[in-house]
Amino acid sequence: MSKRYEIRFSGAGGQGLILAGVIMAEAASIYEGLQAVQSQSYGPEARGGSSKSEVIISDGPIDYPKATVVDALLALTQEACDKYSSDLKEGGVLLIDSDLVKRQPEGNFKVVSFPITNTAKNEVGREIVTNIVALGAMVALTGMITRENAEKAVLARVPEAFVELNKKAFNLGFEKALAAMA
């Protein structure tokens, strides 16, 4: 029987969550040699409405491409946390943006929290890389993909002029998630 791992990136449209999911799926399939599928859903507002990106990673065939019992959930907004935290499996991981998600749900899962958006804005220097900070954090928390292979997938997706910016964002997210878990 294959091991299936379900990851959901959620927040608002325009936060780059779909791209984060695509990169994670590419890292799993291209660089790790695993099976992966990515799907997405967003409201009628491309910017500002509810948005989610789901990634299923498995060491065998994936029969159903949607998340049913989520192992790891990223919530960049309170609305996303409220809407999707009930799908998180017992023992799963919930990663939240501590500045934007003030009410944490009850449940038998690990909550990891740090200011994801402000990390991108103030420490990396560009809020637009919030998704890459979050991706780095999810890679650290899930352990499904090596740091090196995930970084390769990130760098394969960005223009040359933005390589260093995205490297910094990814690695800060990775390190901050590990520190928040300690």
> pLDDT, tens digit, for every residue of 112-121?
999 999 999 9
Q: State the alpha helices, DSSP H only, in 27-162.
A: 78-84, 116-118, 130-142, 147-157
d(CA 166, CA 68): 31
Segment (H or E) for 91: strand 88-97
d(CA 10, CA 74): 6
Question: What pLDDT digit, counting tens, does each position of 42-101 carry?
Answer: 665 555 667 899 999 999 999 998 998 999 999 999 999 999 999 999 999 999 999 999
Beta bridge partner(s), residue 75: 10, 96
- pLDDT number for residue 47: 59
- pLDDT number for residue 43: 61
Question: What pLDDT digit, counting tens, does each position of 124-146 carry?
Answer: 999 999 999 999 999 999 999 99
Q: Which two tokens stand for residue 156?
A: 């394969």
Contacts for 97 with CB less than 8 Å, ≥ 6 apart? 11, 75, 76, 77, 113, 114, 115, 116, 117
d(CA 44, CA 139): 29
- pLDDT number for residue 125: 96
- pLDDT number for residue 181: 85
Amino acid at the residue 104: Q
Three-class secondary structure of residue 161 per DSSP: helix
CA distances from 158 to 23, 129, 152, 166 (A): 11, 11, 10, 8
Q: State the alpha helices, DSSP H only, in the chain.
A: 17-26, 78-84, 116-118, 130-142, 147-157, 163-181
Q: Hey, which CATH number is domain 4-181, 3.40.640.10, 3.30.450.30, 3.90.76.10, 3.40.920.10? A: 3.40.920.10
Question: What pLDDT digit, counting tens, does each position of 166-182 carry?
Answer: 999 999 999 999 999 87
- pLDDT number for residue 1: 47
Structural domain spans, the chain: 4-181
Q: What is the pTM of this model?
A: 0.94
Contact 8, 69 (CB under 8 A): no
| 141 closest CA partner among 78, 73, 88 | 73
